Chain A
Amino acid sequence: QQPVQSPQAVILREGEDAVINCSSSKALYSVHWYRQKHGEAPVFLMILLKGGEQKGHDKISASFNEKKQQSSLYLTASQLSYSGTYFCGTVGPNFGNEKLTFGTGTRLTIIP
């Protein structure tokens, strides 16, 4: 079953922060985050592995709570370039299952 993301869409002013959530109905091995701009392929952002991992790069970070089967993506001091649709992709529950199941998506619009 497809992971559910929230919110479905959000509009922010440049410099504001955003949180995007990804919730799965099944146990997970890892969560992947991607950003996709209109008409383009998804761009890889980061992977989080089970074990309560958190990581970040520049002003984008993420956390993974395997017990809750949830992951959150944090965008701080958003820039215009952050606009796009964000997808989480989940792998699991077992290590041997390598298929990536994409979430429902969150459309982020940053305005000046």
Chain B
Amino acid sequence: GAVVSQHPSWVICKSGTSVKIECRSLDFQATTMFWYRQFPKQSLMLMATSNEGSKATYEQGVEKDKFLINHASLTLSTLTVTSAHPEDSSFYICSARPTGAFNYEQYFGPGTRLTVT
């Protein structure tokens, strides 16, 4: 149980284009999902908290107009990187917290490696 999927697993795009990454909780509902970014050999940095049916909460320093988050249902959140640039190349990981979870446990997706050329 507690499986989270991400699609795509990797994507290569040209500078200036937009890329959408999907995060799905497969066997549970998730009112809250989280988006992280991880650079090589570094820790995970929270970008934003996504709540179903409401606007995402972005961490300080994260451009909300560049990283668009939509939590359309209890099992799906999407991250769109708009006008991507090479510095946006990174490993993007989502996690999902089961609705009603008492201890704030989160389950992570397999990640999406974005390369902007």
Residues of A within 8 A of B (CB): 2, 29-30, 32, 34, 39-44, 47, 49, 87, 89, 91, 98-105
Residues of B within 8 A of A (CB): 32, 34, 36, 42-46, 49, 91, 93, 95, 97, 103-111, 113
CB distance from B49 to the nearest CB of A (A): 7
CB distance from B30 to the nearest CB of A (A): 12
**In the complex, are the beta carbons of B46 and A41 less than 8 A apart?**
no
Contact status of A41 and B111, CB under 8 A, knowing A2-B43, A103-B43, A104-B43: yes
Q: Which residues of B contact A40 (CB under 8 A)?
A: 110-111
Contact of B109 among A41, A44, A98, A100 (CB under 8 A): A41
Q: Count the A-B residue pairs with Cβ separation under 8 angstroms: how many?
A: 56
**Dominant SS among interface residues on chain B:** strand
Residue of A nearest to B2 (CB): A44
**In the complex, are the beta carbons of B43 and A32 less than 8 A apart?**
no
C-alpha spacing A43/B44, complex, angstroms: 13
Residue of A nearest to B109 (CB): A41
Contact status of A100 and B106, CB under 8 A, knowing A2-B43, A87-B43, A105-B43: yes
**In the complex, are the beta carbons of B105 and A41 less than 8 A apart?**
no
Q: Which residues of A contact B108 (CB under 8 A)?
A: 34, 41-44
Contact status of A30 and B104, CB under 8 A, knowing A40-B110, A41-B111, A100-B34: yes
Q: Which residues of B contact A2 (CB under 8 A)?
A: 43
Residue of A nearest to B103 (CB): A47
**In the complex, are the beta carbons of B104 and A102 less than 8 A apart?**
no
**In the complex, are the beta carbons of A100 and B43 less than 8 A apart?**
no
CB distance from B94 to the nearest CB of A (A): 9
Question: 3 closest Cβ contacts across the A-B interface?
Answer: A41-B108, A102-B44, A41-B111
Contact status of A44 and B49, CB under 8 A, knowing A2-B43, A98-B32, A105-B43: no
